[in-house]
Amino acid sequence: MKIAVIGAGYVGLVTAACFSEFGYEVICIDNNKYKIKQLKKKIIPIYEPGLSDLVKKNAKSKYLLFSNSISKIKDANIIFIAVGTPSTRRGDGEADLKFVFSVVKDISKFLIKRKKQLVITKSTVPVGTGKKIQDMMCELRPDLINNKDYFIASNPEFLREGSAIEDFMRPDRVVCGVTDKQAEEILKELYRPLNLREAPVLFADLESAEIIKYASNAFLALKVSFINEIANLCEKTGGNVQMIAKGMGLDNRIGPKFLHPGPGFGGSCFPKDTRALYASFKKNKINNTLVKSVINFNEDRKISIVNKIKNLLKPKIKNKVIAFLGVTFKPNTDDLRESPSLEIIPRLRKLGAKIHAHDPAFNPEFIKVKELDKIKWHSNVLEAIKNADLLVIHTEWNEYRGLDLLKVKKALKNPIILDLRNIFNLDDMKRYNIKYHGIGFKS
Ligand code: NAD
Ligand code: UGA
């Protein structure tokens, strides 16, 4: 089976690498010349555990090739579209489909009559996009017959950054939206290597597959916001949110996952996908309050974190040094897209605070991010903490969990920690005489 994956980003590159690992011949195509040049030299543009080894191994054995040329799809039986679908710049929250549609246009030029190629959307796209792609294809290639010369399918991706390979190889489920039995057979064959792992492969219509992706992300985002709201209550009334999450999570109907409180959800998907789902409700003139409240709550969350910090540095925050540990939206990634830190840090700087930061995934690109302007970066955690008036833990990197608290206390000017991920506990901190504040309990 020959596969072409268009887009060499977090999803495209992982998809291409994992399918090549299954023994398929894969070509990963991107229009970013620099990225492909680097990939051909086996240099991976992103920080994703395990990805580099997988790419190197399969590129060496020639199962995985890279190219800038979309014409290479001619050789493929299966073509994945895995380009970005960010929010539009209009501010209406809708997903911007210009990259997807531009790829569809490009692909259409090279599809081959009677080859029965399967074009699969892996990008997260709003309901109705698969149908639009079908219509576009009919217009662009009237000589080809849909469901005869080629097929359209939807196969949304559920991997998480930081554990992308494991998620791809051992998914909770694979969702496929199809309009034809033959397309279903091709997809069954494609995912056959997952049979051993008993991963359920669910077949649905195009629209259901598209909505399953958004509904899943929005539901998880809602869980995160819900526990953050409960955390707010605990901070006023007493009670410990972690104990509460444990107590709730023991109910199988609720489950323990995605009940960790924090500075609000970030990343390249939850924020944009909740906005896009809300936009779909609006577009279809359906009143929606639930998804909208999740979006609003999450926006406010970051402001409330700034207020928390301001409060801890009373009477004035101006010229105070804040050691900020972790800027990425979660550990094991260098992805900064919509990280809460990008809202929190500029607000703190505007109030006059000085930020000394550390992140294990730091790379020189971070310096170019305007929200992280004028930060003093440190490659050593203790250096970042030195003489700080407050230590904020923003991302729960493993490197921070084992910090030597005695050294931390000695390094800080004021021994105060605000732990936005609750990686430490109050009793340990008491022993070290460190004033410890977390999320969802009274200090
Ligand atoms: P990304 O921005 O990391 O990568 C997109 C890639 O597509 C870039 O390398 C870009 O150069 C390339 N590209 C854009 N236009 C192109 C074109 N016309 N021809 C060839 N290449 C082109 O994006 P991502 O994070 O991998 O996300 C891709 C899609 O997958 C999005 O819809 C996203 O919502 C979804 N998704 C992402 C994740 C994740 O963890 N990042 C998880 C599940 C689903
Ligand atoms: C998320 C989903 O988990 C994936 O299934 C999905 O494929 C992906 O979005 C996508 O569509 O792109 P990801 O964004 O990589 O994956 O990261 P998550 O682990 O889901 O975390 C998202 C955000 O929620 C992070 O900011 C994280 O810190 C926050 N979060 C998560 C919490 O604050 N508490 C939790 O309990 C869980």
Q: What domains does the chain contain, in order, with CATH numbers?
A: 2-204 (3.40.50.720), 205-443 (3.40.50.720)
**Neighbouring C-alpha atoms within 13 Å toward the C-beta of 74:** 5
Per residue in 130-157, pLDDT (tens digit) is: 999 999 999 999 999 999 999 999 999 9
In sequence order, the 6+-apart residues with CB closer than 8 A to the CB of 248 are 254, 259
Q: Sign of torsion, CA 230 231 232 236? A: positive
What's the confidence (pLDDT) of residue 403? 96
B/e letters for 153-177, b = 16+ CB within 10 Å, e = fewer, are bbbbbbbbbbbbbebbbebeebbbb
Rounded to two decimals, what is the model's pTM? Answer: 0.97
Compute the distance from residue 308 Cα to the ligand 1 centre, in Å: 35
Query: What proportion of the chain, given as a percentage, has pLDDT over 90?
Result: 98
Q: With bands split at pLDDT 50, 70 and 90, how would you rate the model's confidence at 196?
A: confident
Per residue in 281-311, pLDDT (tens digit) is: 999 999 999 999 999 999 999 999 999 999 9
Amino acid at 37: K
Compute the distance from residue 41 Cα to the ligand 2 centre, in Å: 31
Which token pair is 156?
């949304």
Compute the distance from residue 424 Cα to the ligand 2 centre, in Å: 21
B/e letters for 241-265, b = 16+ CB within 10 Å, e = fewer, are bbebbeebeeeeeeeeebbbbbbbb
Instruction: Specify the ligand 2 atom closest to the Cα of 258.
Output: 36
Strands (E) across 314-389 are located at 321-325, 354-358, 376-377
What's the confidence (pLDDT) of residue 296? 98
Q: Is pLDDT of 404 > 90?
A: yes
Closest CA to ligand 1's atom 30: 123
* Distance (Å, whole) CA 135 – CA 20: 31
The pocket around ligand 2, CB under 6 angstroms, is made up of 124, 157-161, 217, 220, 224, 258-260, 262, 265-270, 329-330
Q: With bands split at pLDDT 50, 70 and 90, how would you rate the model's confidence at 78?
A: very high
What's the confidence (pLDDT) of residue 199? 92
> What ligand has the least distance to the C-alpha of 213?
2
Which token pair is 75?
């050789």
What single DSSP character describes residue 42? T
Q: Does the CB atom of residue 47 touch ligand 1 within 6 A?
A: no
What's the confidence (pLDDT) of residue 300? 98
Closest CA to ligand 2's atom 7: 158
Element spanning 12, H or E: helix 10-21
Q: Is pLDDT of 197 > 90?
A: no
What's the confidence (pLDDT) of residue 338? 97
Residue 269 falls in the annotated catalytic set: yes
* Distance (Å, whole) CA 352 – CA 346: 10
What's the confidence (pLDDT) of residue 443? 87
What's the confidence (pLDDT) of residue 34? 97
Per residue in 209-238, pLDDT (tens digit) is: 999 999 999 999 999 999 999 999 999 999
Per residue in 258-274, pLDDT (tens digit) is: 999 999 999 999 999 99
The alpha carbon of residue 414 and the mean position of all alpha carbons in its chain are separated, in whole angstroms, by 35
Which token pair is 127?
């309901």
Mean pLDDT value of segment 24-32: 98
Q: Is pLDDT of 277 > 90?
A: yes
Mean pLDDT value of segment 55-79: 97
Q: In the β-sheet with 321-325, what is the strand arrangement from edge to edge? A: 376-377, 354-358, 321-325, 390-393, 416-419, 435-437
Mean pLDDT value of segment 17-32: 98
